A and B are shown apart, each in its own frame.
Chain A
């Protein structure tokens, strides 16, 4: 089959498939409800993450204070661990805000 015939048939069969698809449009209330639920989910996720960040920050701060005043070597080790950790968390959060590979 020639290229043109082939692509023509492809288009025709896609058109036929399109005609076979039945669409059940959701009601206005259903869409509004989904949006409301999504907003609530997002709020809950935000609160959870803020709480986690605050706890992690306080823990790191406490460890740093203890380490800098008592054991400087631990302070250096903590920096080695925490800096890449912060970078990873930052990248993940950025990807989440950006929506993965989505727009």
Chain B
């Protein structure tokens, strides 16, 4: 599915006026991009799907606040990032109980990749072991190419905080690698 910029703008306008079909088209158009981002953050399919749903509902509720200052995909990625961080905060409280289940889900994803004859990279484990607040800015910066000020605005953090989280996160990954 490929949408022209003007077509997307029209769909956004229609969705803002309450047209659910227009919103559905927009959401489905960005689904793959957004899902891949969340999967890179979580490595867990169920959790990624859960965050996708929460992101969709949040985007639907907050659509009127989208002013078009950024790309619609960037706006969605901001919502998804914050949903992910909120989710991790909530999960932290139940972490011990859920830790085993999370590891199991990640092992399943790892197994699926290996079954297809691909390699599971140590780097993915190292990334997954980082704190959520470090993982998100690293992926946004190094994979999606967002700048520090952009990430700061997306995650609602100060630019200095983003830089320091990226720095500490990378330091941890390097340490893992050197072991």
Which residues of A come within 8 Å of B, CB atoms? 1, 6-7, 9-11, 13-18, 20-21, 23, 25-26, 28, 31-32, 34-36, 38, 42, 99-103
Give CA–CA (A7, B75) in the complex, Å: 26
Q: How far is the CB of B129 from chain A (nearest CB, A)?
A: 14
Instruction: Give the A-B pair count, Cβ closer than 8 A.
Output: 92
Q: Determine the distance from Cα of A18 to Cα of B37 in the docked complex, in whole angstroms.
A: 8
Establish whether residues B32 and A35, one from each chain, have CB atoms under 8 Å apart when the complex forms.
no
Q: Could you tell me if B24 and A99 are in contact, using CB atoms closer than 8 angstroms? A: no
A6 close to B28 (CB less than 8 A)? no
Taken together as a complex, chains A and B put the C-alpha atoms of A18 and B123 apart, in Å, by 13
B57 within 8 Å of A by Cβ? yes
CB closest residue in chain A, given B144:
A14
In the A-B complex, the 4 residue pairs with the closest CB atoms: A13-B123, A14-B143, A102-B82, A31-B24
Contact at A101–B35, with CB atoms within 8 Å? no
B 100-115 binary contact with A (CB < 8 Å = 1; else 0)? 0000000000000100
* Interfacial residues of chain B within 16-34, with CB under 8 A of chain A in the complex: 20-21, 23-25, 27-28, 31-32
Contact B60 A38, beta carbon cutoff 8 Å? yes
Contact B40 A21 (CB under 8 A): yes
